[in-house]
Homo-oligomer: A and B are copies of this chain.
Amino acid sequence: MIGERLERQMGFIFELERLKTVYRQNGTLGGKRQENSAEHSWHVSVMAFLLAEYCPEGVDVFRVLKMLLLHDVVEIYAGDTFLYDQQGREDAKLAEAAAADRVFSLLPEDQGSDFRALWEEFERRDTQEALYAAVLDNLQPILNHYFTNNQNIAGKRLLRSQIIEKKRFIAEFSPELWEFAERIIDESVARGLFQPG
């Protein structure tokens, strides 16, 4: 006899399948399809324990991992919004809060409320864990855009200064990671993947 608790947990696990068909502006190698939010979430999660030494001491990397593995699940219902679409990002806030109600309520109550709290912390960026998660979430697309040589028009129209403005908070968290990011942004401009200026 399968209990209601496990049924709900499995219902959530089934629903996660949908994140694999939420496509981002980023690309994949070979250029045949866009990157989706599930594989992006995997990529930033590996980065989280690989780059942990660039964090201030005491950051709970296990909690960062849970946060990153869950940070995009609201997109199952709300879709992905391009970071540089200012109006879209604002409209998305409400849709994402409604999506959070919906997706986390699939779970047993205790887990739904824990997971939602992790997601809200990520959105607020008001702990070292959330800030580190945001750093990785903002660093990975720069690396991906460069390495996949992404020919997506939306990405190619971006100005170097727009990228720098959105991403420069990385410098306060880790000057080393930011130095690397800036180099990759400049090399991307040189390749025509972003506009100079």
Contacts and interface: CB of A to CB of B under 8 A. Distances in A.
A49 B49 CA distance: 16
Interface in A132-175: 140, 143-144, 147-148
Contacts of A42: 19, 38-39, 41-42, 45, 69
Given A16-B43, A17-B28, A18-B29, A180 B10 contact: yes
Identical copies of this chain, number: 2
Interface string A1-26: 01100100110111011111100000
A2 B176 CA distance: 7
Interface residues of A, number: 49
B144 A17 contact: yes
Contact of A147 (B6, B17, B21, B144): B17
24 contacts: A2-B180, A3-B176, A6-B176, A10-B143, A10-B180, A13-B43, A13-B47, A17-B29, A17-B147, A17-B148, A19-B42, A21-B30, A38-B39, A38-B43, A39-B39, A39-B42, A41-B42, A42-B45, A42-B69, A49-B66, A50-B107, A61-B62, A62-B62, A65-B65
